[in-house]
C-alpha cells in the first residue's frame, strides 16, 4: 500500500503525518503551506512544523545535488513549479467550495430583489399612465349645487371628504306630493314618446354603419393596476364625451373621451364600486358599492355630497328615476329601496317576500312608474312604484338573473341570466316573444338599449350588438382580453363604449378611411 500526499495526490518522498487531521503530506509541500497559513489544509485547525511526525519508509533514490547548468537544476526548477502549482490548486479548490455556498445565498437574494423590482416597475408604469391622462382638477372649490348645499350641515366622511351621511332609518313613505310628481313626469314622457312615433331619429347610426364599427381607442390607466377590473360603466346623456366608470380599486373615475383625460377621481367607498350612474342634466355622479352604501358626488369638485345608507348588504342594482330626483336600489338582502337624491332621505323600502336568496339587479322603466328587479331564483319581477306592489312576474330563465334593460319605446324588456340566453319580453302582453340562445358557458354581465331603441348591446364573454325588432346579430367585438362588464351607446349610437375586467375602457366607432 503506497502513501499518498493529501496535497499533491502523489507518492511523497518524505512523508509526514499531521496529528491534527491524520493525513499524510509531502514534507516540503506542507512546510511551504504552513509558512503561509499555519493551519492544517484539510480541517483548518492550527498546525506547526514541530507537530509534524515523520513516517519511516524506504527512501527513494535522489539525484545528485543539482548545479546551475545541469539537467538536475532544470528538474529542480520544474519540481518547485510543480509544488507551487499543487499548493495553488488546493487553494483554488477550497475557494471554489466557499464561492459555491456564497453564490447560492446570493441567488436567493437576487430572486427576491427581482420580484420586488418587477412589482415596483409595474406600479411605476401604472402611475405614469395615470399621470399622462390626469387632468389637474382645477376649480376644486367650485360651488356645490344649491339643492345639496342648502341641506343639512356637512359631516366628515371617509378619506377626509365631506358628505351628508344618511343613516339607515325608517322610510318616510310615498307621499301624495311624490306620487303626483312621478305621475306628472310619466305623463310628459308618454306624450313625448307618442310625438316621436315611429320616426327614426335624425343622425342615428345605420345598420350598415354599425356593422363597420371597429375599436378606435383603448384606455387602461383609469383604475389601479393593483386590483384590476372595471365593474361598471355609464355615459353622460347631456355630454356623451363624459364617461363614468367604477372599479375593483374602490374608486369611480370620470373620463373625457375627447381630451382623453381624467376629469375627476371619486374616492370614498370602502369596497369595490359595482354600479355607477351619471345624472341626466347635472354634473352629478351616483355610485353603488359592495360596502352597502350609495354615494352622490359633485363631479367638478370630486366631493361626496350624500351617503345613502338604505341597505345593510352589498348593492346589486342602481337606477335613476327620470325626474332626476330619486334613486332606486336593490341589495342581496331581498330589499329594494327608493331614496331622495337631494335630501338623502329614505322614501320607501320594501322586502320581496317571495324571494329567498336576494335581488340581483334593478332598473326603472323609461316612464318611471314601474320598474323591474332580477332575483337569484331566475324570476324577473315588475313593481308598481306608486303602490309598491309586485304587478307581474317573468319566469323562464335558469340561474340567477344578471341584468335587465328596458327599451326606450317602453314596450320591450331584455333580460339575461346565468343560462347563457337573452329573453325579450312584451310588457303589453306580459310574455316572452323572443329568446336568443348564446354559446355554451357564455357569460352576460350587462345589457343596454340605445336611446332610440333600435339597437341592443350585450357585454360579457365578448361585446356584441343586435338590431332590435329583427333581433339580428350585427357585430361582435373580441378586443377585450377578459370578461366585459359594461356597455353603453353614445348619442345616436355614433359610438360604443365597453369596460372589462382587463382594466380597459374601449371605444368603437366607424373609422374614416384615409
Q: Which domain CATH number covers 365?
A: 2.130.10.10
The answer to which of 199-213, 358-372, 419-433 has the lowest mean pLDDT is: 199-213
Q: Answer yes or no: do 447 and 317 share one domain.
A: yes
- Taking only the tens place, the pLDDT of each residue in 132-159 is 655 444 444 455 665 665 444 344 343 4
Angle at the Cα of 140 (from 134 to 142), degrees rounded to 5? 135
Give me the pLDDT at residue 158, please: 39
pLDDT (0 to 100) of residue 62: 55
Model pLDDT, residue 164: 58
Banded pLDDT at 498 (limits 50, 70, 90): very high
pLDDT tens digit sequence for 389-401: 999 999 999 989 9
The domain boundary, picked from 58, 75, 106, lies at 58
Closest CA to 288 of 277, 300, 280, 299: 277
How many Cβ atoms from other residues are within 10 Å of residue 327's Cβ?
Answer: 24
Neighbours of 362 (CB within 10 A): 25
What Å distances lie between residue 98 and 92, 282, 289, CA to CA? 10, 73, 58
Q: Are 401 and 361 in contact (CB under 8 A)?
A: yes
- Name the DSSP class of 50: G
Domain-embedded: residue 78: no
pLDDT value of position 131 = 72
Q: How confident is the model at residue 198 (pLDDT cuts 50, 70, 90)?
A: low
Report pLDDT for 316.
94
- What pLDDT shows up at residue 67? 53
Same domain, 290 and 424: yes
- CB neighbours of residue 224 within 10 Å: 18
- Chain centroid to Cα 100, Å, comes to 43
Using the predicted structure, report yes or no on whether residue 58 has a pLDDT greater than 80.
no
Distance of alpha carbon 251 from alpha carbon 268, whole angstroms: 7
Range of the domain at 438: 176-509
**pLDDT at res. 135:** 47
Confidence of residue 200 (pLDDT cuts 50, 70, 90): confident
Cβ–Cβ < 8 Å for 388, 370? no
The verdict on 44 and 186 lying in the same domain is no
Least confident of 5-19, 71-85, 294-308, 363-377: 71-85
For the residues 303-307, what does the mean pLDDT come to? 92
**52 lies in the same domain as 184:** no
Q: Tell me how far apart the alpha carbons of residues 350 and 337 are, in angstroms, rounded to a whole number.
A: 6
pLDDT at residue 117 above 70? Answer: yes
8 Å CB contact between 431 and 422: no
Q: Which range has the worst mean pLDDT, 117-126, 238-247, 471-480?
A: 117-126
The CATH number of the domain holding residue 7 is: 3.30.40.10
Averaged pLDDT for residues 402-410: 92
pLDDT score, position 406: 95
Does residue 53 sit in the same domain as residue 190? no
* Residue 299 placed within a domain: yes
Please indicate, yes or no, if residue 70 is contained in any of the structural domains.
no
pLDDT of 63 over the 70 cut: no
The number of domains in the chain is 2
Query: Grid coordinates standing for 404?
Result: 335587465
- Residues counted in the chain: 514
Query: Has residue 18 been placed in a domain?
Result: yes
Residue 83 predicted with pLDDT over 60: yes
Of the candidates 282, 284, 351, the residue with the CA atom closest to the CA atom of residue 313:
351
Residue 374 placed within a domain: yes
DSSP lists the bridge partners of residue 188 as none
Band (pLDDT 50/70/90 cuts) for residue 192 is confident
Which has more pLDDT, 204 or 73? Answer: 204
Question: Which cell is 170 given?
Answer: 325608517
> Do residues 182 and 52 both lie within one domain?
no
The answer to whether residue 114 is domain-embedded is no
Strands (DSSP E) found in 221-345 = 230-235, 242-247, 251-256, 261-267, 273-278, 284-289, 294-298, 303-308, 315-320, 326-331, 335-340
What does the mean pLDDT of the chain come to? 86
pLDDT at 140: 43
Residue 388 covered by a domain:
yes
Which of 34, 58, 82 delimits the end of a domain? Answer: 58
Q: What percentage of the chain exceeds 90 in pLDDT?
A: 60
pLDDT tens digits along 425-448: 999 899 999 999 998 889 999 999
**Residue 105: inside a domain, yes or no?**
no
Tens-place pLDDT, residues 309-329: 889 999 999 999 999 999 999
Together in a domain, 50 and 186: no
Amino acid at each position: 500500500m503506497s502513501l499518498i500526499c493529501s496535497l499533491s495526490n502523489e507518492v511523497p518522498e518524505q512523508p509526514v503525518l499531521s496529528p491534527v487531521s491524520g493525513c499524510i503530506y509531502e514534507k516540503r509541500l506542507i512546510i511551504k503551506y504552513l509558512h503561509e497559513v499555519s493551519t492544517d489544509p484539510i480541517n483548518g485547525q492550527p498546525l506547526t512544523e514541530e507537530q509534524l511526525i515523520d513516517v519511516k519508509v524506504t527512501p527513494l533514490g535522489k539525484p545528485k545535488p543539482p548545479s546551475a547548468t545541469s539537467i538536475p537544476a532544470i528538474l529542480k526548477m520544474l519540481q518547485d513549479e510543480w509544488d507551487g502549482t499543487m499548493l495553488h490548486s488546493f487553494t483554488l479548490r477550497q475557494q471554489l467550495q466557499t464561492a459555491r455556498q456564497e453564490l447560492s445565498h446570493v441567488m436567493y437574494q437576487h430572486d427576491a430583489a427581482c420580484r420586488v423590482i418587477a412589482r415596483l416597475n409595474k406600479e411605476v408604469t401604472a402611475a405614469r399612465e395615470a399621470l399622462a391622462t390626469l387632468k389637474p382638477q382645477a376649480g376644486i372649490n367650485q360651488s356645490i349645487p344649491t339643492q345639496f348645499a342648502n341641506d343639512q350641515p356637512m359631516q366628515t366622511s371617509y378619506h377626509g371628504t365631506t358628505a351628508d351621511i344618511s343613516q339607515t332609518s325608517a322610510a318616510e313613505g310615498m307621499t301624495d306630493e311624490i306620487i303626483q310628481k312621478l305621475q306628472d313626469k310619466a305623463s310628459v314622457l308618454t306624450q313625448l314618446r307618442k310625438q316621436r312615433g315611429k320616426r327614426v331619429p335624425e343622425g342615428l347610426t345605420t345598420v350598415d354603419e354599425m356593422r363597420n364599427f371597429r375599436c378606435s381607442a383603448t384606455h387602461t390607466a383609469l383604475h389601479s393596476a393593483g386590483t384590476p377590473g372595471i365593474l361598471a360603466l355609464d355615459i353622460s346623456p347631456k355630454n356623451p364625451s363624459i364617461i363614468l366608470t367604477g372599479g375593483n380599486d374602490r374608486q369611480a373615475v370620470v373620463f373625457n373621451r375627447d381630451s382623453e383625460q381624467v376629469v375627476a377621481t371619486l374616492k370614498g367607498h370602502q369596497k369595490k364600486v359595482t354600479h355607477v350612474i351619471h345624472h341626466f342634466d347635472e354634473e352629478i355622479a351616483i355610485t353603488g358599492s359592495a360596502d352597502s352604501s350609495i354615494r352622490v358626488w359633485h363631479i367638478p369638485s370630486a366631493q361626496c355630497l350624500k351617503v345613502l345608507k338604505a341597505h345593510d348588504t352589498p348593492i346589486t342594482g342602481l337606477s335613476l328615476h327620470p325626474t332626476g330626483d330619486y334613486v332606486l336600489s336593490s341589495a342581496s338582502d331581498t330589499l329594494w329601496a327608493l331614496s331622495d337624491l337631494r335630501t338623502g332621505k329614505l322614501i320607501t323600502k320594501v322586502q320581496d317576500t317571495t324571494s329567498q336568496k336576494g335581488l340581483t339587479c334593478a332598473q326603472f322603466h323609461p316612464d318611471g312608474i314601474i320598474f323591474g328587479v332580477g332575483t337569484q331564483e331566475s324570476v324577473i319581477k315588475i313593481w308598481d312604484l306608486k303602490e309598491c306592489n309586485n304587478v307581474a312576474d317573468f319566469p323562464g330563465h335558469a340561474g340567477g338573473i344578471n341584468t335587465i334593460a328596458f327599451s326606450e319605446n317602453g314596450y320591450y324588456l331584455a333580460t339575461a341570466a346565468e343560462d347563457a340566453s337573452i329573453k325579450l319580453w312584451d310588457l303589453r302582453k306580459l310574455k316572452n316573444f323572443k329568446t336568443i340562445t348564446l354559446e355554451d358557458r357564455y357569460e352576460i354581465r350587462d345589457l343596454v338599449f340605445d336611446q332610440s331603441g333600435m339597437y341592443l348591446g350585450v357585454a360579457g364573454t365578448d361585446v356584441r350588438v343586435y338590431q332590435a325588432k329583427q333581433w339580428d346579430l350585427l357585430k361582435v367585438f373580441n378586443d377585450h382580453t377578459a370578461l366585459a362588464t359594461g356597455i353603453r351607446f353614445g348619442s345616436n349610437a355614433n359610438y360604443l363604449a365597453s369596460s372589462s375586467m382587463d382594466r380597459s375602457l374601449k371605444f368603437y366607432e366607424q373609422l374614416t378611411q384615409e
